[in-house]
Amino acid sequence: EIVMTQSPATLSVSPGERATLSCRASQSVSSNLAWYQQKPGQAPRLLIYGASTRATGIPARFSGSGSGTEFTLTISSLQSEDFAVYYCQQYNNWPLTFGPGTKVDIK
């Protein structure tokens, strides 16, 4: 099983600042990585797939990069609606696995 790790566990950011979230896979997942955003009481929302492609309707302030085992989600200028938990997921190998999440909260 591919183990996904995310850092930091919590990221405190002021509105308008840049946030950089990291995700690491225990072995290569190529570019088969997605990022999701989840707000309290809501289902996850797909942000990024293929490591760097924004899903439909996702603002350009969200960007993804990386391949192999190291990935990054960047939110260029945090808006109030961006404070949430972010999960990475690999879909290169079965079983599919998620990272433990990074909570982005208000500084």
Partner 1 sequence: EVQLVESGGGLVQPGGSLRLSCAASGFTFSSYEMNWVRQAPGKGLEWVSYISSSGSTIYYADSVKGRFTISRDNAKNSLYLQMNSLRAEDTAVYYCARDAVVPAAGFDYWGQGTLVTVSS
Site track 77-96 with partner 1 (rule: CB under 8 A), x = hit: ----------x-x-x--xxx
Cα(45)–Cα(27) distance, integer angstroms? 25
Of 43 and 60, nearer to partner 1 (C-beta) is: 43
Cβ atoms of 45 and 37 within 8 Å: the answer is: yes
Main-chain dihedrals φ then ψ at residue 98, nearest 5 degrees:
-110, 155
What is the footprint of partner 1 within residues 11-70 (CB under 8 A)?
32, 34, 36, 38, 43-46, 49-50, 53, 55-56
SS3 99: coil
Q: Which two tokens stand for residue 80?
A: 């109030």
Q: Which segment (15-23, 61-69, 74-82, 98-106) binds partner 1 by CB under 8 A?
A: 98-106
**Cβ–Cβ < 8 Å for 21, 86:** yes
For the CB of residue 70, give the shortest distance to partner 1 in the complex, in Å.
Answer: 18
Binding site for partner 1 (CB under 8 A): 1, 32, 34, 36, 38, 43-46, 49-50, 53, 55-56, 87, 89, 91, 94-101
